[in-house]
Structure 1
């Protein structure tokens, strides 16, 4: 495999960032995962907008434009002979300023963002996942990082809430069984936020319901696609402060994300939920959107 690091293709075994890059030392970077179908990044404008908005929220310029970033993705795909893939794009703030060891608190000064950032851009591509099985989710005690603590937290390299959630998922697995496929993160008040790599929606009454995020960025770009598809079909979309109990008692529920598209939720906390006519409709419309926008040489 070859990765794209700072404008150059390198063998995966040789790909590296400097040890003083702020992504390595502090998690000071943004990232997003893009699904590629037939060589075309799906919902590209939404993805690149999220990445650049996250850079703005953290206070640095990405140092690359949308067209150049897409070209690096296409170069990476071609180098690895991949047409259907999951592509992870990372933009780091780069290396920090030299710190005067005579400063009163040099370790504090090292935390400050550099005055003149020199961002690094990394593109990694993997073959697209093959499974289409409905996933299972498990609520965990870990809480999502609040937006007033870390702006754009779901898109930063600071993913310790997701790491801790996956660790909790493993600990909760029965001794003779496997853990659920995904952990469900809540906010400090116990309301739904997202999974560690996906977003969640459900159907109750006549509305498609999504967790209200406030100032929090969505975990995936696919969530906005769901909203568009629902409205195109005349389905009302309601954002609210929902709990896991709301999902467990829903008529149908689904997960969304770059690796799954739109897929029924099999179980939440061991309780069967499943899809239904609305989930099936959204899934079909999602497939139609992919077919109409993703083809070699076709722009979104």
Structure 2
């Protein structure tokens, strides 16, 4: 299902410049998961970009448009048309578009883990946009073009100063000893809603980290608010050569099941149990 008017004119600033925001929300039988976190991030983005925000009532109606079962709601908010070149209009008339599509989670990745690699592309540092899910995602597109091997599921991104930031469409978590950690995102990267919910519920420290730290961690995960948490079983360099491997343990399941509960997914059995 899509919004009544899903088209965008060529002069829409979201289409022309990436001048806008988007959210992808897991919805089950019309009930959105982590909805307050998605709305809070969208409203924060509106404030920081200077785009008039939709009313909460308008936003709250959207998940109810989803059909039965598991769906993903994608909503896109642009500044609208107008202005001259990059100069935005003094009074913006934003456009809100949305669609709902059926979704099935990748249970094999939950159960068996995934292989990932480092990307050669480096993220630009821009604190004014850090954390936002804005429409300009060309860095992620270029990074995702770096590999075509279907066995490699995700790529890890660092910034221009060599700090680990995120994966192309997921946040990163790891365990060193008894310490759970995730990269700081004050300079760049997307502050995921699942990441925020986990930070509020678990003792996860936000740290500045060199990507080489991952070669020695006890466990590594990637996650977002649609797919949940995937454990990593192999990490490769930018050429596809293996840097580290992990066997799945119950330690992996602890973080995964915290995410499963937040998203309404089934709790996973202990590692090694089908």
Q: TM-score, normalised by structure 2?
A: 0.85
Q: Look up the match of 1:194.
A: 166
Aligned-pair CA distance for 1:239: 1.6
Q: 1:69 aligns with which of 59, 62, 67?
A: 59
Q: Look up the match of 2:272.
A: none
Structure 2, unaligned stretches of length 5 or more? 237-241, 266-274
Structure 1, unaligned stretches of length 5 or more? 98-108, 231-235, 293-300
Distance 1:267 1:240, change over 3 A: same
- Whole-angstrom CA distance in 2 between matches of 1:275 and 1:264: 8
Q: Look up the match of 2:180.
A: 208
- Whole-angstrom CA distance in 2 between matches of 1:240 and 1:168: 27
Aligned-pair CA distance for 1:275: 4.4
- Whole-angstrom CA distance in 2 between matches of 1:274 and 1:145: 34
Q: 2:190 aligns with which of 194, 200, 218?
A: 218
Aligned-pair CA distance for 1:266: 2.3
Aligned-pair CA distance for 1:59: 1.5
Q: Look up the match of 1:237.
A: 204
Larger Rg: 1
Q: TM-score, normalised by structure 1?
A: 0.78
**Is residue 2:157 matched to residue 1:185?**
yes
Aligned-pair CA distance for 1:274: 4.8
Q: 1:37 aligns with which of 22, 28, 38?
A: 28
- Whole-angstrom CA distance in 2 between matches of 1:204 and 1:238: 11
Q: Look up the match of 1:144.
A: 123
**Is residue 2:114 matched to residue 1:135?**
yes
Asked if structure 2 preserves the Cα contact closer than 8 Å seen for 1:38 and 1:83, the reply is yes
SS at match of 1:168: coil
- Whole-angstrom CA distance in 2 between matches of 1:248 and 1:260: 24
**Is residue 2:16 matched to residue 1:3?**
no
Distance 1:156 1:31, change over 3 A: same
Distance 1:129 1:85, change over 3 A: same
Structure 1 runs (4+) deviating above 6 angstroms are none
SS at match of 2:160: coil
Q: 1:121 aligns with which of 74, 85, 96?
A: 96
Distance 1:248 1:127, change over 3 A: farther
- Whole-angstrom CA distance in 1 between matches of 2:60 and 2:215: 40
RMSD: 2.1
Asked if structure 2 preserves the Cα contact closer than 8 Å seen for 1:90 and 1:123, the reply is yes
Distance 1:152 1:125, change over 3 A: farther
Q: 1:273 aligns with which of 222, 246, 262?
A: 246
Residue pairs, 1:38-117, within 5 angstroms: 38-62=29-53, 64-75=54-65, 77=66, 81-97=67-83, 109-117=84-92
Residue pairs, 1:257-296, within 5 angstroms: 257-269=224-236, 270=242, 271-291=244-264
- Whole-angstrom CA distance in 2 between matches of 1:47 and 1:156: 13
Q: Look up the match of 1:233.
A: none
Q: Look up the match of 1:100.
A: none
Asked if structure 2 preserves the Cα contact closer than 8 Å seen for 1:210 and 1:238, the reply is yes
Task: Give per-residue Cα distances to partners, 1:195-248, cap 9 Å, x unaligned.
Answer: 121101000011111111225463421111222332xxxxx3222121332123
